Chain A
Amino acid sequence: GQNIDQPTEMTATEGAIVQINCTYQTSGFNGLFWYQQHAGEAPTFLSYNVLDGLEEKGRFSSFLSRSKGYSYLLLKELQMKDSASYLCAVRDGDYKLSFGAGTTVTVRA
């Protein structure tokens, strides 16, 4: 089976930076996705990493180290609207995604 671990909850202040870690142990690797899910809404696609390194998209960046089975999502200049659950998902070899349980980020004023 697949094992995707991420912290359950994180709290940060508006304007700060938060880093959400994701570690995985999978039988294969064919890419890692991050999604954002606001309460009661659809998960929305944030990023995709398949090669080692950092991908930057505005205030959000995602990093991958395949040798360490590790990724993080970095949220900069936090805004209240960033309060949401962040899901890490790994594609292990075919088309299926294995998801972590999600990290709930709370942004405080």
Chain B
Amino acid sequence: ETGVTQTPRHLVMGMTNKKSLKCEQHLGHNAMYWYKQSAKKPLELMFVYNFKEQTENNSVPSRFSPECPNSSHLFLHLHTLQPEDSALYLCASSQEASGGADTQYFGPGTRLTVL
């Protein structure tokens, strides 16, 4: 498999459930990102990991908990979510979280619906 993959592609959960989103990159990159994409709104950066170290938490509520066990895998653990958390959650990776031409490559996303 190539590129950035995400599972599951679709997830429906109740507000009291606990679930996890998984992202895997096959590009040999060292940085991984979680974004939230809501309809008609810009992508919102949630978390950044660079060489397995978390370098960004963009004021994300604690009901979202990231985990990066190695440079190829990234998880987003979800618990006691709210209906307004329903969105497309996108994972991305790049060579290194740096400036310049460092390009982020995205996975297809997990469409999350919270009932």
Contacts and interface: CB of A to CB of B under 8 A. Distances in A.
B13 to A, nearest CB: 19
Contacts of A45: 103-105
B104 A97 contact: yes
A30 B109 CA distance: 26
Contacts of A31: 99-101
Interface in A1-59: 4, 8, 30-31, 33, 35, 40-45, 48, 50
Interface size class of B (residues with CB under 8 A): 20 to 34
B108 to A, nearest CB: 5
Contacts of B100: 30-31, 50, 91
Interface in B77-115: 90, 94, 97-109, 111
How would you classify the secondary structure of chain A's contact residues: helix, strand, loop or mixed? loop
Interface size class of A (residues with CB under 8 A): 20 to 34
Contacts of B40: 8, 101
B42 interface: yes
A48 B103 contact: yes
A99 interface: yes
B45 interface: yes
Most buried by B among A35, A43, A44: A43
Contacts of B101: 31, 48, 50
A95 B99 contact: yes
A95 B102 contact: yes
Contact of B99 (A8, A30, A33, A99): A30
B4 A33 contact: no
Interface of A: 4, 8, 30-31, 33, 35, 40-45, 48, 50, 87, 89, 91, 93-102
